Amino acid sequence: MSELVENGVGEGTQKLFRSGYIAIAGRPNTGKSTFLNRVLGHKVAIVTPKAQTTRTRILGVYEQGEVQMVFLDTPGIHNPGRVLLNQAMVQTAYDSCRDADVTLYFVEAGTGLTDEDRQILATPSLKDSAVILVFNKMDRTPRDRLMMRLAAVAPLVGEAFAEVVPISALTGRNMERLLDLLPQFLPEGPRYFPTGQKTDQPDTFIIGEVIREKLFLQLQQELPYALAVRVVTWQKRSPPSLVWDLDAEILVVRESQKGIVIGHQGSVLKRVGSMARRELEAMFGGSIFMRLQVHVQKDWNGDPRVLMDLGYTEPVGDAD
């Protein structure tokens, strides 16, 4: 039956529906989240110029014709050291690649493939799956340099990589070509998510993330890495009111960090709050009455229970 349909000679020449998972992986800051948001035309993942902004697997659904592509944006793969949060982030990235039908491995076009990338690509999660190498940020890479980098990996096409594609996730250049390549890697399958659904994350997740994005943008050096955001209340007041109540807690590791996050006379927190509020009001409509509080929670980034509570790790026993 499916063969007949596939060949287009079945009744009504109904086409085969394809679906599958596409992991987006690579070193930090290569533009993975920018890419996902651009594909969806909708912000599901936060983006900053800082490394390690993405901490969890972010799912984004893209449907085109008879194909449903489920993208998994992942934290950048780096040497995690001893902080449990970082270890969990890297593990999430590898797990997503292992589970996907194809992985888009992102590097910066101007840098090309580094030794670290080669080490990552040699791990079983990537070695044993189909990988398309993506040279992102071609908009800021001079043409001759891009050509040189592409030539250096050309021998690997058909070997380590199914394809190499230069793109710009920022401008959208060449992204259609990349998207057109993907269906061939996906099996016949169901529509995993109803048409129109963009992500599986609850609203409270993206709300916490938008606040965290503004904190990343406002704070310097290591501080962003010591922060987490927990949304405590997200509730629409009864109609006809168009007001949402939002309470969120910002967790920091040390008392001294609390003052920096709050700022002189609350200036930093005010700025973060108003930037986040503006964006969230555009996202959800209506107006938002927002309360942000800063809490010291020592070692939150090393505490398995807190990491699970924040959604940074899977509940124990749930992982396969």
Ligand X SMILES: Nc1nc2c(ncn2[C@@H]2O[C@H](COP(=O)(O)OP(=O)(O)O)[C@@H](O)[C@H]2O)c(=O)[nH]1
Q: What are phi and psi of 252, to 5 degrees?
A: -125, 165
The pair phi, psi for residue 63, each rounded to 5°, is -120, 135
Beta carbon nearer to ligand X, 39 or 288: 39
Q: Which residue has the tokens 């959604």?
A: 311
Residue tagged 């987490």 (tokens): 228
Give whichever of 67 and 104 is closer to ligand X, judged by the CB atom.
104
Q: How many residues bind Mg ion (CB under 5 A)?
A: 3
List, in sequence order, the alpha helices (H) in 41-199.
84-99, 115-121, 124-127, 143-153, 175-181
Considering the rule CB under 5 A, would residue 103 count as an interface residue with Mg ion?
Answer: no
15-74 positions binding ligand X, by CB under 6 A: 28-34, 47-49, 53-54
Nearest to 310 by CA among 220, 199, 236, 204: 204
Name the one range near Mg ion by CB under 5 A: 52-60, 82-90, 226-234, 260-268. 52-60
Select the residue interacting with Mg ion from 30, 37, 52, 54 (CB under 5 A).
Answer: 54
Sequence-ordered list of residues with C-beta below 8 angstroms from that of 16, at least 6 positions apart, any chain: 2, 5, 6, 66, 188
> Residue 43 binds which entry of Mg ion, ligand X, none, with Cβ cut-offs from 5 to 8 Å by kind?
none
- Name the residue whose CB lies closest to ligand X: 31
Q: Could you say which of ligand X, Mg ion, none residue 141 binds, taking C-beta under 5 to 8 angstroms by partner kind?
A: none
With H, G, I as helix, E, B as strand and everything else as coil, classify residue 276: helix
Question: How big is the site for ligand X, counted in residues (CB under 6 A)?
Answer: 20
Q: CB of residue 261 vs Mg ion: minimum separation in angstroms? A: 22
**Binding track over 15-34 against Mg ion, x by CB under 5 A:** -----------------xx-
Beta carbon of residue 37, minimum distance to Mg ion (angstroms, whole number)? 10
Q: Which of 22, 59, 67, 76 binds ligand X (CB under 6 A)?
A: 76
Exposed/middle/buried for residue 251 (C-beta within 10 Å: 0-12, 13-18, 19+)? buried
Please select the residue that binds ligand X; options are 127, 140, 237, 270, rule is CB under 6 A: 140
Please report, for residues 5, 40, 62, 76, 122, the alpha-carbon distance to residue 128 in angstroms, rounded to integers and kept in the order given.
30, 28, 25, 19, 9
Shortest CB 57 distance to ligand X, Å: 12
Cα gap 295→257, rounded to integer Å: 10
Q: Per-residue contact track with ligand X, 153 to 192, x per CB under 6 A?
A: ---------------xxx----------------------
Q: For residues 78 and 191, which CB has a smaller minimum distance to Mg ion in the complex?
A: 78
Sheet with 130-136, strands from edge to edge, namely 58-64, 67-73, 18-26, 102-108, 130-136, 163-166
Binding site for Mg ion (CB under 5 A): 32-33, 54
